[in-house]
Amino acid sequence: MTTIHVEVVETSSLGDRSYLAHDGRVALVVDPQRDIDRILALAGRLGVRITHVAETHLHNDYVSGGLALARLTGAAYLVAGADTVGFERLPVADGDEITLSDTMRVQAVATPGHTFHHLSYILTGPDGPEGVFTGGSLLFGTTGRTDLLGAEHAHTLAHHQHASARRLADLLPDGAHIWPTHGFGSFCSATQSDAPASTIGRERQANAALRLEADDFVSQTLAGLDAYPAYYAHMGARNGGGADLIDLTPVRAADAAQLRERIEAGEWVVDLRSRKAFATRHLAGTLSFGLDGPMSTWLGWMAPWGAPITLLGESAEQVVAAQRELARIGIDRPAAAATGTPEQWAGGEQARLAELTVAAFTDLAAARAGRTVRDLPAPDVVLDVRMTNEWRAGHLDGAVHIPLPDLPHRLADVPDGTVWVHCGSGYRAAAATSLLQRAGRTVVHIDDAYADAAGAGLTITAPEN
């Protein structure tokens, strides 16, 4: 008997998943990312032919590779007929059934909520429903956020989201798998879940959309929404127009003199190394967005859209990896790149090299208690760059709050004096301290887990209601 297989293609840096469902001969691809070479390589390893590509919705958090993949493979491209797009597609609507092979088919189900024309796709094999590709509808323990089309639609879409989740639960048996696109760190998710997999039955127990009545679900969902990346504003239009093939050819190399010019011009010259390597030594005026964290999300959110970005990496492979991640969110071609060491980027000029002072929460507690801490400058300001919902859940007494994405245009709001900067784990604080250092401020990077702050002896405020 033919078995249906569903392969997961993760894009952990954006918190998304794409899928390739196949029966050993033909395949359906759902919500592919821009870099479709991963999908093509997977299909090649499996020995299957991609005959259909489906979008659950016009994505807001990444540039889709669906159109390029469909054109390259000759596959049918399934996109909601109600969405206005600038390309040829197979328009689908609620109830449409598409035969993929003699053993595999999908049915489109209207599941508005994340967007108005959102679709889910129920995958059926010889033994009945296998599961459902839910996009930004029913996720693991949560649902997709409902405010991406504008705050004025969030309440209406939240009601739709509740009804859509209930509809999927009514249509499918408890054992049916759920294959969402969002929910693994994506800002498209209303809240986050650590679950690696789920079924309809599990969601009946864990998901607020299936446990709460509509009004309670709507209130809870809207109350939990926080800011989302600024680059989302460009993704919907890009996907509605149709993105072409990704270009990952090498970008122009920059020498030390050119790096100096770009830094002096105030451009975003980004150090992709780990924050610890950056703290030890870096090219003065560069910004820390390590490739070992969600680089593209924070850089794409903070850098002015369309501004030239230069990438610095230890190796060509590091630069290529960053280029791929940035292309996924529509930053197609970095302005320049350089590989090597800070000394090489500085052209051997020691005066162009800098370091970051690093501390832990125990150091901050000692400094606040008046005890001398190594050679650390005393804190005049403690800056918390976490997001608003994190701050409201509790924060260090006396801290100043500026969410990291707001910092580039709120540098003047940071009080005078030495600034000690923290976030949740250290990654965002590294980006913030590098921004402040570039602006000429004296900074200390608290590279520590916020969860350990209270244990270090620091006072935490009660959560704000």
The pLDDT score that the predictor gives to residue 13 is 87
Instruction: Quick: pLDDT tens for 300-316.
Output: 999 999 999 999 999 99
- In contact, 157 and 220? CB cutoff 8 Å: no
* Helices first, then strands: H and E counts in the chain: 15, 22
Task: Count other C-beta atoms under 10 Å from residue 380's C-beta.
Answer: 12
Per cent of the chain over pLDDT 90 is 90
- Selected from 3.40.250.10, 1.10.760.10, 3.40.50.300, 3.30.930.10, the CATH number assigned to the domain covering 256-354 reads 3.40.250.10
Counting every residue written for the chain, the total comes to 465
How much is the pTM? Answer: 0.92
Q: Is residue 321 over pLDDT 60?
A: yes
Domain ranges of the chain: 5-241, 256-354, 358-456
Domain 358-456 has CATH 3.30.450.20: no
CATH code: domain 5-241 is 3.60.15.10
pLDDT in tens, 121-135: 999 999 999 999 999
Hey, what amino acid is at 418?
T
3-class DSSP state of 280: helix
Domain 256-354 shares a fold with domain 358-456: yes
pLDDT tens per residue, range 438-463: 999 999 999 999 999 999 999 999 77
Residue 172 tokens read as: 């499918």
